[in-house]
Structure 1
Amino acid sequence: MHDSLLRDRGLGNVAEIGSIGGLMRNTELEKLDGLVGEWTTTLSDAWFLEPAGTEVPGTTTVERLGESLLVVRSQFGGGTHHSEMGLVIGRSDPNDAYVVLYQDDRGVCRQFAMTFDDGHWTLLREDPDMHQRFVADVEKDRIFGRWEASEDGGKTWRKDFGLTFDRVFAQG
């Protein structure tokens, strides 16, 4: 009875929803639990930073927001190399897809499609102004990623910068 009521209200495939302490949680979102915690973050190989080889240290915190969202907050460096950015990661059950909103301290706000499986994490936007993607390999305590951009509709890509995340501790 409960399952059919959820389906009738458009709440997705009940087989994909699990119960945790009486709360409903999408099992596809549970795949992201390994991201939750605090990370030291290093921005490297940025074409826009001088001198070449400059590395900018930072921190990243990934937290749950209720049972259906993750919030990612990153801060880098200080002085001339200071930057902040954030992501809100959610899941569209009817579209069977992750959805990400990005913002940074320049006032930029963008929407990305996301995949996360088999140790690979990708974010992709294909907007009229440019195409952009984040590609990462995810390990238990380390994430190796890079941001890339394309100004020709995704035919060619250039690396904007690399990001390495090292786990400080996991949150439970």
Structure 2
Amino acid sequence: MRNTELEKLDGLLGEWTTTVSDAWFLEPPGAEVPGKTDVALLGESFLVVTSEFGEGEDRSELSLVIGRSDANDAYVVLYQDDRGVCRQFAMTFGDGRWTMTREDPDFHQRFIADVEKDRIVGRWEASDDQGKTWRKDFDLTYERA
């Protein structure tokens, strides 16, 4: 039986072209990194998001698994990438806004995005002082393929 709260995420399903831009770590300033993202169902209660960015030696991959904690009435996201990084995020989704946040001892991190039918415009931010101040890491744009 399909989780009814996950049905609210059905608009994310499918293939997307993605672009990383305005990133402090990209050279030269203004550089953009194209990519692709696929969002698919895993069973009746999870979404799997797989993304690839760049090419050759600069190629990177990451995956998200989005699920629910029904008892806590909350979305939960598990993240992993090809650097061996594994993280857990709390997530909200609704009213045209998608957020993912984590408040871990190493640093705090958040994703904030405006969601339209065929476009998602977001940014990743980080805080090294437990959320008192934030710096933008990069913009992330999804366009339905």
TM-score bracket, shorter-length normalisation: over 0.9
Counterparts of 1:61-76 in structure 2, within 5 Å, are 61-76=38-53
Instruction: Name stretches of at least 5 consecutive residues in structure 2 with no aligned partner.
Output: none
Name the CA distance, whole Å, in 2 between partners of 1:158 and 1:81. 24
What displacement does 1:26 show? 1.8
Matched residue, 1:60: 37
Please tell me whether residue 25 in structure 1 is matched to residue 9 in structure 2.
Answer: no
If each structure's helix is expressed as a fraction of its own residues, which one has the higher value?
1
Matched residue, 2:99: 122
Q: Give aligned-pair identity as a percent.
A: 79
| TM score, norm. by length of structure 2 | 0.98
Cα shift readout 1:84-108 (whole Å, capped 9, x = no counterpart): 1110000010110000000001000
Name the CA distance, whole Å, in 2 between partners of 1:154 and 1:80. 33
Cα shift readout 1:64-96 (whole Å, capped 9, x = no counterpart): 001100000000011343211110000010110
Matched residue, 2:73: 96
Please tell me whether residue 49 in structure 1 is matched to residue 34 in structure 2.
Answer: no
Question: Quick one: which amino acid aligns to residue 66 of structure 2?
Answer: I
State the 4+ residue runs in structure 1 displaced beyond 3 angstroms: none
Name the CA distance, whole Å, in 1 between partners of 2:143 and 2:97. 16
Counterparts of 1:32-43 in structure 2, within 5 Å, are 32-43=9-20
Whether the 8 Å contact between 1:73 and 1:86 is mirrored in structure 2 is yes
Counterparts of 1:125-136 in structure 2, within 5 Å, are 125-136=102-113
Q: 1:87 aligns to what SS in structure 2?
A: strand
Cα shift readout 1:14-38 (whole Å, capped 9, x = no counterpart): xxxxxxxxxx122111000000000
CA RMSD of aligned residues (A): 0.7
Q: 1:25 aligns to what SS in structure 2?
A: coil
Number of aligned residue pairs: 145
Name the CA distance, whole Å, in 2 between partners of 1:82 and 1:96. 36
Q: 1:143 aligns to what SS in structure 2?
A: strand
- The worse-fitting range, judged by mean Cα deviation, of 99-108 and 81-90 is 81-90
Distance 1:166 1:104, change over 3 A: same
